[in-house]
Structure 1
Amino acid sequence: MSPITACLFDLDGVLVDTAKYHYIAWKRLAEELGFEFTEQDNERLKGVSRMASLDILLEIGGLAPDEETKLDLAAKKNAWYVEYISTMDASEILPGALEFIQSLKERGIKVALGSASKNAMLILNNTGLTPYFDAIIDGTKTQQAKPDPEVFTLGARELGVPTESCVVFEDAEAGIEAATRAGMRCVGIGSPETLGRANLVISSLEGFTVDRLLGLQEK
């Protein structure tokens, strides 16, 4: 197997916990539209783009508005979400995430963000994570949503490394599939039942080491 020279990280649920803010905003939109949106429903939105998430929400509510209305609804949800995440700070970085990224940098391994979020820069700036990334690919740079591999192949290109030398860190099935389709190894963060297609599944980045990561080179 190729040596690991770069790591690409999803943002939501991997480095920071913005999922709760997404859920609050989607739930608020559903209630305004007259139906319930549960935490179980929200699981279907993990790793999915904003408009695709809206389509799922509208399907749950049994609604089929025109495209102009859909754009207005997506903008409303995003405005609420931005309002919520504007108060984020470094305390909302998930346990072990910053320490692991710092250890990657110390070992000369490149680091990139690969996120569908169009608000990634706001989150990275508010939490102080921006300087740690050699490349940042977010929803403003991509045309295709995960499970399309575009976000990760763009990341590898911007880092100047071959895809087979990259490892992706993801918490969603769509992200695992995107990494696989990009020809990259993948570490799933969460449940083995959900993320079983990853090369390795861990509960969080807390306590995870570069040496354990490099063990994937043998697999």
Structure 2
Amino acid sequence: MVNFSEIKGFTFDLDGVITDTAKFHEQAWHDLATSLNVPWSAELGRQLKGISRMDSLNMILAEGGHENDYTDDEKSAFAAQKNQHYVALIQALTPADILPGMTEFLAEIKREGYVASVASASKNAPTILKKLGIMADFVGIVDPATLSHGKPDPEIFTKAGELLKLQPTQIIGLEDASAGVQAIKGAGQTALGIGTAAKEAQPNIWFAETKEISLANISKQMNG
């Protein structure tokens, strides 16, 4: 692992790292599944975490045995319907919805001269960051429309690193999902995992909760 002194920037996943909009995604998918007569389960909700909109829709349709019942145009309409519902739900976000400790951590890295970018597969990331009042804390957000592959492919974190204009060895990526940790490692960055799901992918640095994250605690794990 690289030495902490080499680190100059951070790439952030959004959901489960900075805020938790998973509950809104789950509500919107749950409502769509119900309208398509697909039985909902907590396990299905868990499987949809961190994957793209169309992949999520196809998993829901497969769960109900409807994978071959709709045209591509109909599927696109379902995905758009889900997104409209989700966008309506996230309008209620405020800075109070930032996960514990992350407001302080973002302020700390900015104060200490580090740069940060967002590696989120969500097309709604700019809206979410504006609602949370932290848009100015990031030099850029990866545009999901430019991506050819989803996590665990490293593409999104590679692009997030390019926004920082740094070498991969100078970057720490933050993720709460196993696929995301794999993507960070694949991009050659130091992987900081948060929570149980991230631990499965053996991140370089691990914290149980966001509130534990600080430059001092990261340094301790990297140089310990």
TM-score in terms of structure 1 length = 0.93
Q: Which runs of 5+ in 1 are unaligned?
A: none
The equivalent residue for 2:86 is: 81
* 1:202 partner amino acid: F
Moved more, 73-82 or 36-45: 36-45
Bigger drift between 141-150 and 67-76 goes to 141-150
Name the residue aligned to 2:111. Answer: 106
What letter matches 2:83 in structure 1?
Answer: N
Q: Indicate the SS of the match to 2:10.
A: strand
1:46 corresponds to 2:58: no
Shift of 1:16: 0.7
After TM superposition, the structure 1 = structure 2 runs for residues 1-219 of structure 1, keeping only pairs within 5 Å, are 1=2, 3-64=6-67, 65-191=70-196, 195-218=200-223
The range that moved more, 72-81 or 50-59, is 50-59
Go from structure 1 to structure 2 and tell me whether the alpha carbon gap of 1:138 and 1:202 turns closer, same or farther (over 3 Å shift).
farther
Structure 1 position 44, deviation (Å): 1.1
Instruction: State the one-letter code of the partner of 1:41.
Output: L
Runs of 4+ off more than 6 Å: none
- TM-score for both structures, normalised by structure 2: 0.91
Residue aligned with 2:148, SS: coil
Which whole-Å CA distance do the structure 1 matches of 2:115 and 2:94 have between them? 24
How many residues end up aligned between the 2 structures?
A: 219
CA RMSD, Structure 1 to Structure 2 (Å): 1.7
Given that residues 175 and 198 in structure 2 are in contact (C-alpha distance below 8 angstroms), is that contact kept between their aligned partners in structure 1? no
Alignment partners' CA distance in 2, 1:76 and 1:194: 34
% identical aligned pairs: 35
Match for 1:91: what amino acid? A
List alignment gaps of at least 5 residues for structure 2.
none
